[in-house]
Amino acid sequence: MKTILIFDDEETFQGNLRDRLAFLENAFDIKTPGNKEFIECMDVLANRQREFCETGGWSSDDAILFDEVDVLIVDYKLFDTIPFLTAEDVAYHARCFSECGLIVGVNQYGHNPFDLTLRGHLESFADLNVGQEQVGNPNLWGEVASGFHPWHWPILPDYLNTFEKKIEDVEDGLRADAPICEVIGFTADVFTLLPRSTGEFIGGNPPETRFREFVVDSGSGLRRKDARVRHVDEKIVARIGAARISKWLERFVLSGQDILVDAPHLVSRYPSLLSGDRNDVETWNKTARLASYDELGLSTEVIEPFRLKKGHWMSRPAWFWRELRECEEIEEVREPWTIERPNWVFCEDTSRFCEEYTEFVADVDSPFTRRFVSRLEKIDYQPAYRFSL
């Protein structure tokens, strides 16, 4: 059985998070360690960090709970445990100096937030950042529920299942001395066209950058003080590289919808790709699911050549937009004046097409900044000025 570890230095809050996840107990063993055990784990991670700075690796002889955890959930403020320790410190050390699976940071950006920038908090080493009110949202765990469901959320169990495959890809890429773009299924041409704000996360020359360079030299992997070591163990490079590039793809590249485009944003531009009744909103909503591309109600034969073939690097099917937009087999490309817009738009906060919505401007380096939300009650939409741009 897979394991979820929840930690907060306030036992009441920690218990509250566990109660929110009680519906997962048949699928996950949920652990809530005490402060003493947590501090012991952090001490081991600190020792591993010191060893790493001397040798470029660390010994797993002193295995700790973090090494066995599939999903680590940690609250942002941990002042009562270790002064000035935050979830970000925990996330960094867990990613670099343990063998833990996914890392979920809680409350770093609010208790119930929705990020109107859509930029994804790449500065955080957590694979996903949520508020405490959202930890137990069934949509995050693969259970379908109405209401709040940010489109950028992956299904965590599925995301976990693909993590090891990504690590294997990176290890293969390291042995072949292949650039990042090749490892994740992009062409060098696509990386050449990345906006500066997107490409700078990888380093100075994205089309040529290898995973080792990214992890050690870019500043987006190892912190500078840890990157001074001459040689870094391949397994450490693979785990850090897989996690960081995966988040960059999900939360930064895909958010622009101009390098990669996913199904609901694609049919919003090219409705002719829908395989069902275009006058029925549920035909459109079928595309807004994290399912395989042949289950989305799309006519995929025409767009198949443009699909990202290494689909396990994304939590949803995606297609290369710059190639797709020139395909004249698509009705709207061949005859753009024929596009008929429906009465609904895709809402980023509910993952559904809706007739009632509020427009906002996302902070993405893309032509597609105009987006929509249902604007639900009790959700903290931030920064709110994005509604007035």
Q: What is the pLDDT of residues 354-363, one digit of tens each?
A: 999 999 999 9
Domain with residue 105: its CATH number is 3.40.50.2300
72 and 107 share a domain? yes
Q: Between β-strands 260-262 and 318-320, what pairing exists: parallel, antiparallel or unpaired? A: antiparallel
112 and 249 share a domain? no
Q: What is the pLDDT of residues 86-107, one digit of tens each?
A: 889 999 999 999 999 999 999 9
Does 99 fall in a domain?
yes
Q: Between β-strands 113-115 and 380-382, what pairing exists: parallel, antiparallel or unpaired? A: parallel
Number of domains the chain contains: 2
Helix (H) or strand (E) run with residue 353 in it = strand 352-354
Write out the residue range of the structural domain in which residue 172 sits: 160-256
Does 323 fall in a domain?
no
* Cβ-contact 296, 287 below 8 angstroms: yes
134 and 204 share a domain? no
Task: Please say which residue of 215, 234, 256 terminates a domain.
Answer: 256
What are the backbone dihedrals phi and psi of residue 137, each rounded to the nearest 5 degrees, phi first? -65, 120
12 and 105 share a domain? yes
Look at residue 14 and tell me whether its pLDDT is greater than 90.
Answer: no
Task: Please say which residue of 148, 182, 204 terminates a domain.
Answer: 148
Task: Please say which residue of 256, 276, 304 terminates a domain.
Answer: 256
The C-alpha atoms of residue 219 and residue 343 are separated, in whole angstroms, by 45
Sign for the pseudo-dihedral over CA of 116, 155, 11, 38: negative
Contacts of 283 (CB under 8 A, 6+ apart): 274, 276, 277, 297
The predicted structure's pLDDT at residue 80: 63
56 and 185 share a domain? no
pTM of the model: 0.95
Q: Which of 11-20, 318-327, 366-375 shows the lowest mean pLDDT across its residues?
A: 11-20
The predicted structure's pLDDT at residue 196: 87
* Residue 77's pLDDT band (cuts 50, 70, 90): confident
58 and 139 share a domain? yes
Does 103 fall in a domain?
yes
